[in-house]
Amino acid sequence: MRKAAAKQTSSPGCIPIPTPPGHSLQPQQTPLGTSRQASTRPVRRGEAGNQGMSAGDMFDAVCSGKSAMVALVDEWLDSYKQSREAGLLELINFIVQCCGCKGVVTRDMFDNMQNAEIISSLTNEFREGSENYPLCTPGPQWKRFKAGLCEFVRVLVRSCQNSLLYDEYLFSSLMALLTGMSDSQVRAFRHTSTLLAMKLMTGVMEVAVILSTQLQISQRRYDLENRKNAQDRASARLEVLQATISELQENREELSSLMNATFRGVFVHRYRDHLPEVRAVCIAELGKWLSEDPEDFLNDGNLKYLGWTLNDKQSPVRLQCVLALQSLYQEKDFIGRLELFTSRFKERMLSMVLDKDPDVAVEMVHLLLLIHQKTEGGLQDEECGRIYPLVFASHRGLASAAGSFLYNNIKKVIASDYQESWTTVGPNVAFFNILVSFYIQSEFQQHGVYLVDSLWDVAGSELRDWETMTTLLLQDDEEGALIELMMCAIKRAAEGFPPVGRTQGKKILNMKDKKIQAQDRRRITTHFINLIPQLLAKYSVDEEKVCLLLEAPFHFDLEMYSSSKPLEKHLDLLVSQVCGIVKKHSEARVLEACARLVPALCSDCYTFSTRTHLAFSQLLDGLTECFNTYLDDLLQGTADEEDMYRAALALKRVATFNRAMDLKRWKLFNPCLDVLQSNVVRDLDNEVELLQLKKEVRLFYSVCQTCLSLDQAEIRDQAFELLCDVVLLYSPGSVRSQTLAQPPPDSLRSEMASFVMDYIFTGCEDDHFTGVNEEMTIATFQRKHNQLAGYCKLVIYGALDLSAATDVFKHYSKYHKEFGDIIKETLSKSRLINPVQSAKTVCLSLQQLFSEMISEKPDEQELGEIRGLAKRLAMSFGTNLHRVRKSLVALHMDGMRFAFRDPKEGELQHLNLAFLEILSDFTFKVLHQDRAQLSAFLKAECPSAALSWPSVRMYQRSLEGSSSKPRQEEGGGEKESSTLSPPINPTAKRRKTTAQDSVSSAQRISWMDSSSIHGSLLSPALTSTVLLEQTKPQASTHPRDTDFNESSGLLEPDSEDEFHEGLSLIEENNVEAEEHKIENVQSISDEEFSP
């Protein structure tokens, strides 16, 4: 008999259920027999003497999840009743199989071996290195297996609750085996046995609760009968009730002993198991015991396990702990027993609202809401203040939970402080007053859309109360916060989905949500269609409020304006208010808000578009007339400050509508150019139209070139951006007729290059997006990013020589973090247009850096920074070495010519030999068949006296090497170069270049002279207007490189044919899509500014 196996040795600690007298807690061991290894041969029914269910049948039934558990358990119970030893053996083998073990417990092992020996034998048979077992195997089938296994245990206990549960054999023996397996070092044994033991104890606990209820009922009946008079008392009934009470007490004590042994033998050890799955199972079942059997389990001794587990390192365990506490705090009767726990662990629970796992944080907020509602003291204001900011969290679940917490507190305040005023103002007025006050006092203003979304699920009816909000706005001068919250609610209702950052994946509404969205949109339009003009009229002088109110029509069903004539009057009022706001305000923010509304109201899809377009045209007529009134005085220089202010303000208002309407009919270009020109150049000669246009362009160049030297940063930056646009528009590759082409003069090219050096590639490495000036720093970086993109487009589209890119390429390494994307794409584009000239430009940029280094430090040559740039530029040539063969050969030849060039008058011999060390960083890209010819070219160019110099020997060894990978720097190479190089005289250096000394005509690559970019090239986006309108990024396609003719030798092609071939490649592969990478900013459509 294995009767006493469940009575385990108890460890010191809290005893949840007292053990009845006469029951020993020391285990009784079965006699030792011959030790045998666990056999892998399945047990046959005939061998076990059992004609019922086998372990394999039970496992397959549970695993399939399709069998009725009651029928499965009943069938096994029938076999158990025929032979309990054989039936228990099959159940044990079923558990072993559920662990994923291939071993089988034989009848001899069952009769002659202790549980520890059986587990040891099964452990030896367990597959070594096996990590997967049924409970942890992924897939829907194994998820059903876990649910089926738990259901099997529950049904087994329920089926045995009236008989076998108290036979002191089945469950005692089963629990003894599970206790031993839960202490195994094998993860599968420990996990599976713990799950079964916890579920088994839960089932026993449920039966114990039923027994306790029956015992109380029987005891009350006995007491009632016993209190009767002797003549009325039924002795037979008393005897029956006494026997029933004795039997129930005995059964209850048996179950208490079984649960006590399980709690001490399994839970106390496994709730701190190193496997989070095991810990989570223990805590989840503990929560059920505490909530369903509070008389035996709900005490501080058991609550401490939940408190300790709040600090578990694994989020699934913490989540189960929080869920268990929620079930406790939901019961008002338990609050008194939870007082000590609440005071002890409240601080930890408050800190968990910022848990790194959002699911844990969400459930903790729900738990704190229960504590706040159920407990007498609740949470203090400071403690609530730690939860309120979560309404602005990016995780929508957490924000909604915090919104529910905030909403309940608002309702609580309304119920206590505003109850008397409900009859006069209504409960929603108090709600909005409190909400607005909360929003103003929060640290996250200008994020009202997130606050509204957080409250949307619980306070949707209040936030849709447009009548109350508009009544408050029309009656009193309300805070702008109420208008902002109202507009956020309108947007949330009209769009139907959460704001940006609160959704994952695509925003798709189902049919139900679409129906609700359409209803909300109609209600919004019906209510606000006549109130928006009134609100705009009342708050027309307030910049912030007007900008918010102008967003409302975007969420209207504008078709309703044309549904009836009375509604058309409201449209006229709206347009009139918008025009009046334009005339009143000069702030760019307000004017842009009005301009954004114009395209929506003037859309051709509406029948009323003609009348709205007429109204806005009349507005522009008045503004243009106002500007023309002061034009003559401005041109003659007789306008005073007030006249200049009025003219500039009128022109500013007109310019705001540039994106909304076509302004050509007002012919403002010539007057504006005259005003701009009047301050710089006067007395222009009138010539034919073409010559006049070209002259105007040259004058514009001159004006902007003058502005590039001004101290005012805003004017200087705007002039550079405009120059990038105009130079690109009138470049040979953009105009339809070459007679219209107006390339910039050399002096302007020099000024633009100086601007790039002086104002773009300066200060970026010191900019950090932190601190108070974060927004200013980001704006500065975006402006520089935009300006550099415009300059690089001039190079790519042929408006500037390719040599102009040297000022950009030389900063590739130093400013890689800030502008690496633009420079890399410029390299790629230039290589597609003309690979050889692009490589020569790369070499030229390195030569310029080398010359600057010599000028600054004549006595010591620090090549580390330049070589770092060279290595980065070398990697830009890619991995297809056959395609870049000509380019690399040309680069090396130019580099060697520079290294061995004849010295100028007054210079020392071999001044540039150290440049060969820089050139060696490109050698690993050269094919082997070209290295021999480059070596011959080196010997032909190099003077015999210089062959022994370290730099020459280093470069020669790099050509003779066989490795195709980047060569490691030779130790001491730079040091030898710096120590053995001849002394050189220092020369002065000027950072800002001029037209004469920037790049000599001999060195300059005649990129534009040899060819031009045809008009068939798609026009790029302009620079000065690149941030005015956002468009969707286009898909990028990678152009293919030209194939390299391996038999072409070492010629350096500079012909126009090769250049045009490179241009045709770009035309074939959608230049516009590739150019998007260079801009890296969103640009306006090309059609609008197509030349």
Task: Give per-residue pLDDT as tens, 272-281.
Answer: 999 999 999 9
pLDDT higher than 80, residue 427: no
What are the tens digits of pLDDT across the range 556-572? 988 888 877 778 888 99
Give pLDDT tens digits for 830-850.
888 888 888 888 899 888 888
Say whether pLDDT at 1035 is over 80: no
State the pLDDT confidence band at 52, using cuts at 50, 70 and 90.
low
CA–CA gap between residue 86 and residue 79 (Å, rounded): 8
**Side-chain half-sphere exposure of 278, counting CA atoms within 13 A:** 24
SS (HEC) of 956-1014: HHHHHCCCCCCCCCCCCHHHHHHHHCCCCCCCCCCCCCCCCCCCCCCCCCCHHHHCCCC
Instruction: Provide mean pLDDT across the span 988-1017.
Output: 35
Residues above pLDDT 70, as percent of the chain: 78
User: What's the whole-model pTM score?
Assistant: 0.62
Mean pLDDT of the chain: 78
d(CA 17, CA 261): 10
Confidence of residue 422 (pLDDT cuts 50, 70, 90): low
* Distance in angstroms (rounded) separating the CA atoms of residues 844 and 137: 62
DSSP string for 659-679? TTS--GGG--HHHHHHHHHHT
Q: In this structure, what are the phi and psi dihedrals at residue 743, rounded to the nearest 5 degrees?
A: -65, 150
pLDDT digits (tens, 9 = 90+) for 327-349: 999 998 999 999 999 999 999 99
How is residue 173 written in tokens?
């023996």
Residue 15 confidence class, pLDDT cut points 50, 70, 90: very low
Of 216, 215, 218, 177, residue with least CA distance to 194: 177
Query: Buried b / exposed e across 803-830, counting CB within 10 Å, b at 16+?
Result: bbbbbbbbbbbebeebbeebbbbbbbbb
**What tokens appear for 549 in the block?**
């109110």
Which residues does residue 104 pair with via DSSP β-bridges, in sequence order? 39
Contact (CB, 8 A) for 314 and 276:
yes
pLDDT of residue 805: 87
Ranges 768-772, 857-861, 1015-1019: which has the least confidence: 1015-1019
- Which burial class, exposed, middle or buried, applies to 872 when counting CB atoms under 10 A from its CB (0-12, 13-18, 19+)? middle
What mean pLDDT do residues 953-982 have?
52
Residue 998, pLDDT above cutoff 60: no
pLDDT tens digits, residue range 124-183?
877 554 567 888 888 777 788 888 999 999 999 999 988 888 888 899 999 999 999 999
Could you tell me how far CA 196 lies from the centroid of its own chain?
Answer: 41
For residue 406, what pLDDT band results from cuts at 50, 70 and 90?
very high
Query: Is 463's pLDDT higher than 90?
Result: yes
Per the listing, tokens 């000239």 go with 837
Please determine, for residue 986, whether its predicted confidence score (pLDDT) is greater than 70: no
How does pLDDT run across 870-915, given as a tens digit for each residue?
888 888 888 888 888 888 888 888 888 888 887 776 666 677 788 8
HEC profile for 829-895?
A: HHHHHCHHHHHHHHHHHHHHHHHHHHHHCCCCCCCHHHHHHHHHHHHCCCCCCCCCHHHHHHHHHHH
Measured in whole angstroms, how far is the alpha carbon of residue 59 from the centre of its chain? 44
Cα–Cα distance measured from residue 507 to residue 207, given in angstroms and rounded to the nearest whole number: 49
pLDDT above 90 for 450: yes
Condensed to tens digits (0 to 9), the pLDDT of residues 579-595 reads 999 999 989 899 999 99
Range 312-325 average pLDDT: 95
Between residues 103 and 36, the one the model is more confident about: 103
- Residue 1039 predicted with pLDDT over 70: no
The per-residue pLDDT for 698 is 85
Kindly state the helix (H) or strand (E) to which residue 193 belongs, with its residue range.
helix 187-226
Contact 252, 208 (CB under 8 A): yes
Percent of the chain with pLDDT over 90: 31
Which range, of 226-235, 515-524, 586-595, 843-852, averages the lowest pLDDT? Answer: 226-235
**pLDDT at residue 971 tops 60:** no
Cβ distance 52 to 130 under 8 Å? no
Q: What is the mean pLDDT of residues 179-188?
A: 91
